[in-house]
């Protein structure tokens, strides 16, 4: 991963109003939605002797910060323990390896560990062995673990981040990502970068996962072959428009926007399947999709528009908080002191509210489970 990207793709740290820890309910929902896939995947590993007789090793890649990280570990422990009970196995020890880039707020996770350990021991009692938690900082586009050392790899909302901004997209003027106004070469460059990165990700994990071990990956994608479809990039188009609003008001220079592109890609099913088939180390066991509202607190999935202005502004505010928690460090790294982040996300909030009043665009999520050949 290019060092500049390694240093800028990170979540807002701490536990303040704009922090990732305080605005990661969208990601929590995505993790909970994958519970059935996790159960099915781990059940398929029940005869894997090294996993269920000694120490079950879980790697959570792009773990982020906050309670979601340890929630995933708890889910996996629950599933393994239940399977051991059903099959009259002695419970294994657990090793949980938390991975993210060097700028991740690992300290906040460490502070949650005493409570996490106490809760696990209280719930599981004497039958529970031990759980060892460690942090493994670094890019998952490089090696992270010894050969054949992992039983289960999990990554949620991580692999849609690219290793670098695609090359040759300097002509993507007035856009910060793929958009309907992007030239064809920009769309092609983004798709090529994802293909290269995802194959690299699979190659590296193939070395680290034991034979018969599995991966469960959840990431943003799209249902359409069109890379500029609303479900894949509309929220980032609105962020681009918010930046351009600031240019018109003389609040930021246009050259900053023209030189800024987000290293992110939302693939369609065909792109994912082709990469897995080409790399060849994993068998695709499950391919599921689910949708989620931009505002994770919006549970009304029947109305395709927001019924009144007040509600759309609430949803706009909640959506803006989610996007800000993830993108603010990247924006600050590029724009520096030349931009007022508060003003930008006030404008973005208004843009989102106006958009949701016309049509409720939703995130399209892909969840896959893979087993090592």
Look up the CATH number of the domain holding residue 19: 3.40.50.150
DSSP 3-state assignment of 262?
A: coil
Q: Is residue 40 part of a domain?
A: yes
Query: Total domain count for the chain?
Result: 1
Q: Is residue 185 part of a domain?
A: yes
* Contact yes or no for 54/23 (Cβ under 8 A): no
306 has pLDDT over 70 = no
> Cβ atoms within 10 A of the Cβ of 242, count?
20
pLDDT in tens, 276-295: 999 999 999 999 999 999 99
How high is the pLDDT of residue 7?
66
| Residues of the chain by 3-state class (helix, strand, coil), percent to 5 | 45, 20, 35
What is the extent of the structural domain holding 270? Answer: 3-225+261-293+362-372
DSSP 8-state secondary structure symbol assigned to residue 292: E
Q: Is residue 239 part of a domain?
A: no
What is the total residue count of the chain? 373
Q: Is residue 196 part of a domain?
A: yes
Q: Is residue 330 part of a domain?
A: no
pLDDT in tens, 263-276: 999 999 999 999 99
Report residue 332 CA to chain centroid gap: 20
Q: Is residue 312 part of a domain?
A: no
How high is the pLDDT of residue 175?
96
* Contact yes or no for 222/272 (Cβ under 8 A): no
User: What band does 2 get if pLDDT is binned at 50, 70 and 90?
Assistant: very low
Q: Where would I find the beta strands (DSSP E) of 22-160?
A: 55-61, 93-100, 131-137, 150-156
How high is the pLDDT of residue 126?
67
Separation between Cα atoms, residue 195 and residue 191, nearest integer Å: 6
Q: Is residue 317 part of a domain?
A: no
1 has pLDDT over 50 = no
């Amino acid at each position: 991963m290019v060092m500049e990207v390694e240093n800028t793709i990170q979540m807002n740290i701490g536990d303040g109003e704009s922090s990732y820890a305080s605005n990661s309910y969208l990601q929590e929902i995505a993790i909970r939605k994958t519970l059935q896939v996790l159960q099915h995947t781990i059940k398929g590993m029940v005869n894997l002797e090294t996993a269920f007789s000694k120490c079950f090793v879980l790697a959570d890649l792009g773990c982020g910060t906050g309670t979601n990280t340890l929630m995933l570990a708890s889910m996996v422990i629950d599933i393994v323990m239940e399977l051991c009970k059903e099959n009259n196995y002695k419970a294994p020890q657990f090793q949980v390896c938390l991975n993210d880039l060097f700028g991740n707020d690992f300290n906040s996770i460490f502070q949650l560990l005493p409570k996490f350990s106490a809760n696990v021991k209280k719930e599981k009692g004497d039958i529970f062995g031990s759980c060892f938690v460690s942090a493994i900082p670094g890019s998952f586009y490089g090696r992270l673990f010894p050969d054949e050392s992992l039983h289960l790899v999990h990554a949620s909302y991580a692999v849609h981040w690219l290793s670098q901004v695609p090359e040759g997209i300097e002509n993507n003027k007035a856009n910060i990502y793929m958009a309907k106004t992007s030239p064809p070469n920009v769309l092609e460059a983004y798709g090529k970068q994802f293909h290269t990165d995802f194959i690299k990700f699979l190659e590296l994990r193939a070395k680290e996962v034991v034979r018969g071990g599995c991966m469960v990956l959840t990431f943003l994608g799209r249902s359409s072959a069109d890379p500029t479809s609303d479900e894949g990039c509309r929220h980032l188009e609105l962020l681009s428009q918010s930046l351009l609003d600031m240019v018109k008001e003389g609040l930021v220079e246009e050259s900053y926007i023209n030189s800024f592109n987000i290293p992110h890609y939302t693939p369609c099913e065909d792109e994912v399947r082709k990469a897995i088939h080409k790399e060849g180390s994993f068998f695709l066991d499950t391919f599921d999709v689910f949708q989620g509202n931009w505002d994770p607190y919006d549970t009304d999935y029947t109305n395709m528009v927001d019924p009144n202005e007040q509600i759309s502004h609430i949803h706009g505010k909640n959506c803006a908080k989610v996007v800000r928690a993830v993108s603010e460090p990247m924006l600050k790294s590029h724009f520096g002191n030349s931009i007022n982040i508060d003003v930008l996300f006030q404008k973005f909030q208004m843009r989102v509210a106006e958009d949701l009043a016309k049509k409720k665009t939703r995130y399209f999520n892909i969840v896959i489970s893979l087993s090592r050949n």
